[in-house]
Amino acid sequence: MSAVIDVVAGARPNFVKVAPLLKAMARGTGGLRARLVHTGQHYDPEMSEVFFRQLGIPRPDVELGVGSGTHGEQTARVLLGFERHLATAAPSSSGVVVVGDVNSTLACALGAVKLGVPVAHVEAGLRSFDRTMPEEINRVLTDSVAELLFVSEPSGEFNLRREGAPEERIRFVGNVMIDSLRQHLSAARATDIVRELGLEARGYALVTLHRPSNVDEEPRLTATIEMLERVARALRVVFPVHPRTRQSLQRFGLLGRAQDNPAFRLTEPLGYWESLGLLDSARLVLTDSGGIQEEATALNIPCLTLRTTTERPITVTDGSNTVIGHELSRVEEIMGEILAGRYKKARAIDGWDGKAAERIVGVLADVWGR
């Protein structure tokens, strides 16, 4: 008999992380069988479906269909739906795997432990030490209830030990996001997205923005658009716009201004291949995403993070990332170094070798397998 493991995915970055795990679990190691639960936190086709297709993720076994809402509403709806699933599912669950730091991650971890089902957290121990970020709360709480803490970079082990996590729970396994990157880089390079958008390799800056701290308030978003206008004097600016960001640009009357700038190229959210293909050929990336800091490091593309902190410090110490902080004028200063070829280069990072999912499934088979 196999041990059924519920693997949870809710939002866009989750899909990139569960894909290699599901692939590794499909080999049947330790008699594990994955059951995929899609919470529906992200539901637009370009935020969800395209990722399933490109990453080869099977159709979810369970769809909770929770949609958007306030943090409380969204977390509560996932918790309710997931609890109901665990209580009624046949065969019953031998364990739950959650990834990342989104509301679905916390809600499913909480739902599982309350029913006595053990939880494994992939990407455990990352800390920005900024509790105004919803993701930081999700990380701290998920780690505090998880039985297995799968760590992607050394800071994760350090943070978990400092918080008193028992040593036997902490497992350094490397980075599943980089597993996906390695598996799909040739498909990404085959997309032709750079030419389709009328760009030239290394002739543009890629921009992604969606953090509430950057996009929810008018002064900050206006200052960011002004900064991008200055960047656009030297490089084309390509900006796939997240739904949250589009709503804010519209609300603050900034959408037309960005769309009308001939050096800007605004697009809908892109698929995984297209987005990786654009990153791979960019001169630099300006972002507030967590995953892109890691992907840029793996590809050695200069990354300027439009935040005051990062929960992924290895991308700064060993990678191609710089955390900009409050002063957006630093972007131009560092861009000068990049354009002059004086910017730092990324080093290879331990455990970012394309085999993290295999290592995770090895541990799951030992601990939860039959």
Q: Is 210 a catalytic residue?
A: yes
Asked whether the beta carbons of 45 and 12 are under 8 A apart, the reply is no
Binding ligand UD1 by CB under 6 A: which of 3, 47, 113, 266? 47
Supply the DSSP string of 230-296, one letter for each residue: HHTTTSEEEEEPPHHHHHHHHHTT-HHHHHH-TTEEEESPPPHHHHHHHHHH-SEEEE--HHHHHHH
Minimum CB separation of residue 200 from ligand UD1 in Å reads 28
Minimum CB separation of residue 101 from ligand UD1 in Å reads 6
Residue 312 binds ligand UD1 (CB under 6 A): no
Residue count, binding to ligand UD1 (CB under 6 A): 19
For residue 236, how far is the Cα from the chain centroid? Answer: 25
Mask 195-234, x = binds ligand UD1 (CB under 6 A)?
---------------x------------------------
Binding ligand UD1 by CB under 6 A: which of 21, 50, 102, 356? 102
Residue 153 or 311: the one with the smaller Cβ distance to ligand UD1 is 311
- The three-state secondary structure class of 170 is strand
Residue 244 binds ligand UD1 (CB under 6 A): yes
Distance (Å, whole) CA 55 – CA 167: 33
Residue 44 binds ligand UD1 (CB under 6 A): yes
CB neighbour burial string for 326-340, b if at least 16 within 10 angstroms, e if fewer: eebeebeebbeebee
Q: Which of residues 10-39 bind ligand UD1 (CB under 6 A)?
A: 11-13
Residue 94 or 293: the one with the smaller Cβ distance to ligand UD1 is 293
Binding ligand UD1 by CB under 6 A: which of 93, 103, 180, 310? 103
Residue 94 or 275: the one with the smaller Cβ distance to ligand UD1 is 275
The type of residue at 262 is P
Distance (Å, whole) CA 188 – CA 193: 9
Residue 134 binds ligand UD1 (CB under 6 A): yes
CB neighbour burial string for 228-240, b if at least 16 within 10 angstroms, e if fewer: beebbeebbbbbb
Candidates 99-107, 181-189, 311-319, 353-361; binding stretch for ligand UD1 (CB under 6 A) = 99-107
Residue 343 binds ligand UD1 (CB under 6 A): no
Map tokens 């004086």 to a residue. 342
Residue 38 or 283: the one with the smaller Cβ distance to ligand UD1 is 38
Distance (Å, whole) CA 20 – CA 178: 10
Q: For the chain, what percentages of helix, strand and coil (3-state, to nearest 5) are there?
A: 50, 15, 35
**Residue positions annotated with a catalytic role:** 210
